[in-house]
Structure 1
């Protein structure tokens, strides 16, 4: 698609609303991580991949001369996802604070350098009628964005559809950002199919996450009621624990624990046999 000859006022306004949403989208998630001192259920890989996806995302928007608001969006996405990723390293993987902060800064610097390094040559090539580099960047942005969502279904399967660790305010604001950005594309002179697919996929997946949790709430409504009547937290209520243990990931974790226990017993058994053999020789 050729660069936008001009950007209508409506596209700029809608795009700016989308940018405002995406500028604050991860603040509730970051605050939740800080408040709970936990990132359980929030895949660190999702935050990392989204940070990286902002690079081709930004290059594509700049070269296509999209609305200024749409060019700012990827920068916000990269920064906030990197911060959330750093929290995953600190709270989830128990990295030292200094190491987590320096790693986060390094990620941001690498992303900034990659963006600057690719924008100028791709823009030059595009001005000469060579469009495949910018198209590749657009496709890469979509692939990375979708790839970032891939760990989420496994987290949902592990908990039988329950959403843990992902803030719903973040999901709603993020959905609004994608929706208004999509409307900004509709208001442009030419509709950008690649960016349009990007925003549609984002909206669809986030709606799927919310629906998954609503289904979980419906399926556990009686168990949650009995837990409340018993004055117990859902996660400590025996019936709830048993029901949640049916998750795919939970079963696999149990299998792995049994395997580790078996290996431990096996090693100890070998050591005992070796000791007995030595004693018999003596």
Structure 2
């Protein structure tokens, strides 16, 4: 079939609007009725999770912009519907699991970088600006939680992990930079 970018983008836009819009009636229905009875929370949770993978794939494959946007929009609405379900059911554990999983995945994501540093015996290839901004984001996020009516420890753990786990990187990188400067 011949390449036709106009047709590709028009059809992708229609598909994105339809795939995204399909969840709007469910979100509105659940909101208006203040009930999600009969709606499987697993359907929306799995759909929200799947959107992340499709989004990454679409970006890496450089598919048209509407198709790149589609999983992000669809996933956000599926997550919103899932949140409505857990909120309406009075279940706190799914929300708590999300907070705990976030902290675990953040910590787990740092392990390969520590392995890389250990193998090389130095910090290379990591932007100091990235680490500094990341740490400051964590610090200010934790500080904002202090000013809530009730401190959210589960939310704080993710931010504290970033700050605590990045401190050794900055120390190592600063030491490496100092040694290189002195030896030059």
| TM-score of Structure 1 vs Structure 2, range by shorter chain | 0.5 to 0.7
State the alpha-carbon separation in 2 of the partners of residues 150 and 156 from structure 1.
10
State the alpha-carbon separation in 2 of the partners of residues 197 and 214 from structure 1.
26
State the alpha-carbon separation in 2 of the partners of residues 206 and 121 from structure 1.
33
- TM-score, normalization by structure 2: 0.58
* 1:37-75, Cα deviation, whole Å (9 max, x unpaired): xxxxxxxxxxxxxxxxxxxxxxxxxxxxxxxxxxxxxxx
- More contact order relative to length (CA 8 Å, sep ≥ 6): 1
1:164 aligns to 2:124 (yes or no): yes
State the alpha-carbon separation in 1 of the partners of residues 87 and 70 from structure 2.
26
Residue in 1 that maps onto 2:113: 152
The structure with the largest alpha-carbon Rg is 1
Q: Which runs of 5+ in 1 are unaligned?
A: 1-85, 87-97, 229-282
Instruction: Find the residue that maps to 1:118 and give its secondary structure.
Output: helix
- TM-score, normalization by structure 1: 0.39
Distance 1:156 1:107, change over 3 A: farther
State the alpha-carbon separation in 2 of the partners of residues 112 and 143 from structure 1.
25
Distance 1:118 1:221, change over 3 A: closer
CA RMSD between the two structures = 3.0
State the alpha-carbon separation in 1 of the partners of residues 144 and 154 from structure 2.
14
Equivalent residues in 2 for 1:54-203, closer than 5 Å: 100=60, 102=62, 109-160=70-121, 162-203=122-163
Distance 1:107 1:153, change over 3 A: farther
Instruction: Find the residue that maps to 1:102 and give its secondary structure.
Output: coil
What count of residue pairs does the alignment treat as equivalent?
Answer: 127
Kindly state the Cα deviation for residue 111 of structure 1 after the two structures are TM-superposed. Answer: 4.8
Q: Which runs of 5+ in 2 are unaligned?
A: 1-55
State the alpha-carbon separation in 1 of the partners of residues 90 and 103 from structure 2.
23
Kindly state the Cα deviation for residue 186 of structure 1 after the two structures are TM-superposed. Answer: 0.3
Kindly state the Cα deviation for residue 131 of structure 1 after the two structures are TM-superposed. Answer: 1.0
Distance 1:119 1:148, change over 3 A: same
Kindly state the Cα deviation for residue 125 of structure 1 after the two structures are TM-superposed. Answer: 2.3
